[in-house]
């Protein structure tokens, strides 16, 4: 489940080639054959292979040779350079392909691409981070306009393989075949939008001896299982922690958070509010009334809680919540209005999880929202460093960053989560897992996975258009069951 950067992948390659004495051309042949197998199995027909100047292009030449060897009706290479201009393993691969009878021609700016059912993108590999320019940019534009199905080799051309950033034009692939391990840039948006379905293939690169273990990874059901507390016959509600939620004049968001916490297994939900007439509080919740201007009373009311959720339904008056965040014994989740407290506080530290959406993240960093969306990996990492907290940057393939540099990408979720109150449910789920004893990073990973899975199940039940935050709450227990049922 690792997600690797370009630098990490180069280290793996070097170890395999120099340390284990596996010739690079052998790995290239395995890579090209793996691409050819994916194309032959799933996308037969006329096949156009676009080859660049480096080893990624070499993979493309190998793929073309194998497809030709398997007697496909029409296989052609369109190369940016002649085979004689290539170097190293790529030159060997191209020479072998031409000798075996593969047809090729050199791309000329202004020419149209030939008709094909499949277009294989082997133009640029993992080492490129600059925006494509000149004939290459023109070729990418033609590829994106071409009706054929696009298969990218390792990473779509124009995507930064390490960050997912798209500095210029990029190939819009329907499928990406990753060699050895998935590249981080194909998992992080906006790069993931260009990658389509990602398939990781084993080409013989040794991934087991890398000294650097600072890898990004996907969330998985095992994260949830690790965060849940065992339920024995002798346990009671106190065994699973209390979640305290500070409520302003609007109860809806806070109640959704509380329901998320309760459904994720917290033993007791405490709502602390200064508004005696607040309506809509579930019977299962404990309600504690506090003076709105008494910071000490707020802390006392929530002192027996193992985690807090601060922000959903909090409103504009933040003064009485500030003391909770400066208390070194408190831990929990900051969301919505609670995130605005960070502007007047020192770093809250690793006992807290922040759950901003892109606009909130932009405000905390002093960026614009488009800048956050274009540089999501950098944004979440900077905010985690700035606050020394765990940060959950919401969105497609939600990013989780820890203050120690940890990066996790969430694998669950769909458009059903795009509904009012969904983020409040997420904050509650994470708070509920923290109340049961999970540390901030574990709770963030598990809670984000659980929230996304519940959204998927709710979307299947209702459809992506009609799902509400309450529907997500209703499917949390089913999502937990799916994680438990998948245990080996």
CA–CA distance, 158 with 384 (Å, rounded to integer): 28
- Looking at residue 169, its pLDDT comes to 97
Tell me phi and psi for residue 4, to 5 degrees: -110, 150
- Give the containing element (helix H, strand E) for 390: strand 390-393
Task: Answer yes or no: is pLDDT of 487 > 80.
Answer: no
CA–CA distance, 1 with 216 (Å, rounded to integer): 9
| Block residue for tokens 């600059």 | 130
Higher-confidence residue of 201 and 284: namely 201
- Looking at residue 421, its pLDDT comes to 96
- Looking at residue 383, its pLDDT comes to 98
pLDDT tens readout for residues 232-279: 888 888 889 999 998 877 789 999 999 999 999 999 999 988 776 777
Instruction: Quickly state the pLDDT bin for 466 (edges 50, 70, 90).
Output: very high
Of 216-230, 267-281, 416-430, give the lowest mean pLDDT range. 267-281
- Looking at residue 263, its pLDDT comes to 97
Where are the CATH 3.40.1190.20 domain residues in the chain?
Answer: 221-485
Q: Where are the alpha helices (DSSP H) in 242-367?
A: 252-263, 295-301, 322-326, 358-365
Of 1-10, 79-88, 284-293, 427-436, give the lowest mean pLDDT range. 284-293
Where are the CATH 3.40.50.10260 domain residues in the chain?
Answer: 2-211
Please report, rounded to a whole number, the percentage of residues in the chain having pLDDT higher than 90: 80
* CB environment 32-57: b (16+ within 10 A), e (fewer): bbbbbbbbbeebeebbbbbbbbbbbb
CA–CA distance, 162 with 159 (Å, rounded to integer): 9
- Looking at residue 482, its pLDDT comes to 92
Structure tokens that stand for 299 in this block: 């802390």
CA–CA distance, 100 with 197 (Å, rounded to integer): 31
Report helix angle 440-462 to 422-435, nearest 10. Answer: 140
Q: pTM here? A: 0.94
Task: Answer yes or no: is pLDDT of 212 > 60.
Answer: no
Structure tokens that stand for 334 in this block: 């900051």
Task: Answer yes or no: is pLDDT of 369 > 70.
Answer: yes
Partner residues linked to 201 by β-bridges: 179
Of 33-37, 210-214, 222-226, give the lowest mean pLDDT range. 210-214
On whether the CB atoms of residues 438 and 227 are closer than 8 A, the answer is yes
Instruction: Quickly state the pLDDT bin for 210 (edges 50, 70, 90).
Output: low
Please report, rounded to a whole number, the percentage of residues in the chain having pLDDT higher than 70: 97
On whether the CB atoms of residues 435 and 242 are closer than 8 A, the answer is yes
CA–CA distance, 393 with 364 (Å, rounded to integer): 12
CATH architecture observed for domain 2-211: 3-Layer(aba) Sandwich (3.40)
User: How many Å is the Cα radius of gyration of the chain?
Assistant: 26
pLDDT tens readout for residues 102-143: 999 999 998 999 999 999 999 998 888 789 999 999 999 999
Neighbours of 483 (CB within 10 A): 20
Structure tokens that stand for 394 in this block: 């919401």
Q: Which of 229, 241, 154 is nearest to 198 (CA)?
A: 154
- How high does pLDDT run on average in the chain? 93
- DSSP-derived letter for residue 240 is G
As a CATH number, domain 221-485 is: 3.40.1190.20
Secondary structure E strands in 43-190: 47-51, 75-79, 103-106, 118-122, 149-153, 175-179, 182-183
Task: Answer yes or no: is pLDDT of 388 > 90.
Answer: yes
């Amino acid at each position: 489940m690792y997600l690797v950067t370009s630098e990490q992948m180069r280290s793996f390659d070097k170890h395999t080639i120099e340390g284990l004495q596996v010739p690079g051309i052998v790995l290239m042949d395995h890579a090209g054959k793996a691409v050819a197998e994916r194309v032959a199995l799933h996308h037969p027909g006329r096949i156009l292979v676009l080859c660049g100047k480096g080893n990624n292009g070499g993979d493309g030449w190998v793929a073309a040779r194998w497809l030709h060897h398997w007697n496909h009706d029409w296989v052609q290479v369109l190369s940016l350079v002649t085979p004689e201009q290539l170097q190293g393993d790529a030159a060997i691969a191209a020479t072998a392909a031409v000798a075996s009878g593969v047809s090729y021609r050199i791309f000329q700016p202004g020419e149209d691409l030939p008709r094909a059912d499949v277009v294989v993108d082997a133009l640029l590999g993992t080492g490129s981070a600059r925006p494509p320019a000149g004939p290459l940019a023109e070729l990418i534009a033609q590829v994106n306009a071409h009706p054929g199905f696009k298969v990218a080799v390792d990473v779509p051309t124009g995507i930064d393989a390490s960050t997912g950033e798209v500095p210029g034009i990029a190939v819009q692939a329907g499928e990406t075949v990753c060699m050895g391990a998935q590249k981080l840039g194909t998992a992080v948006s906006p790069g993931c939008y260009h990658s389509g379905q990602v398939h990781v293939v084993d080409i013989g690169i040794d991934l087991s001896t890398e000294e650097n273990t600072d890898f990004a990874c996907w969330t998985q059901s095992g994260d949830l299982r690790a965060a849940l507390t065992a339920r024995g016959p002798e346990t009671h509600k106190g065994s699973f922690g209390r979640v305290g939620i500070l409520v302003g004049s609007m109860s809806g968001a806070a109640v959704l958070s509380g329901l998320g916490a309760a459904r994720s297994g917290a033993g007791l939900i405490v709502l602390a509010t200064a508004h005696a007439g607040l309506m809509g509080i579930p019977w299962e919740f404990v309600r504690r009334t506090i003076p709105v201007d008494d910071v000490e009373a707020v802390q006392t009311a929530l002192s027996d809680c193992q985690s807090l959720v601060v922000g959903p339904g909090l409103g504009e008056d933040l003064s009485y919540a500030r003391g909770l965040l400066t208390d070194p014994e408190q831990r929990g989740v900051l969301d919505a209005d609670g995130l605005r407290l960070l502007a007047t506080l020192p770093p809250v530290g690793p006992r807290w999880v922040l759950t901003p959406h892109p606009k909130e993240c932009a405000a905390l960093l002093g960026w614009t929202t488009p800048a956050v969306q274009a540089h999501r990996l950098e944004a979440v990492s900077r905010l985690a460093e700035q606050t020394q907290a765990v940060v959950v940057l919401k969105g497609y393939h939600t990013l989780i960053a820890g203050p120690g540099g940890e990066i996790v990408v969430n694998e669950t979720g769909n458009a059903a989560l795009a509904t009012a109150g969904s983020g409040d449910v997420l904050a509650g789920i994470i708070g509920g897992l923290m109340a049961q004893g999970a540390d901030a990073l574990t709770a963030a990973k598990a809670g984000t996975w659980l929230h996304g899975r519940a959204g998927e199940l709710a979307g299947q039940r209702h459809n992506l258009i009609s799902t509400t935050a309450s529907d997500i709450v209703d499917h949390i227990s089913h999502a937990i069951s799916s994680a438990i049922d998948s245990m080996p």
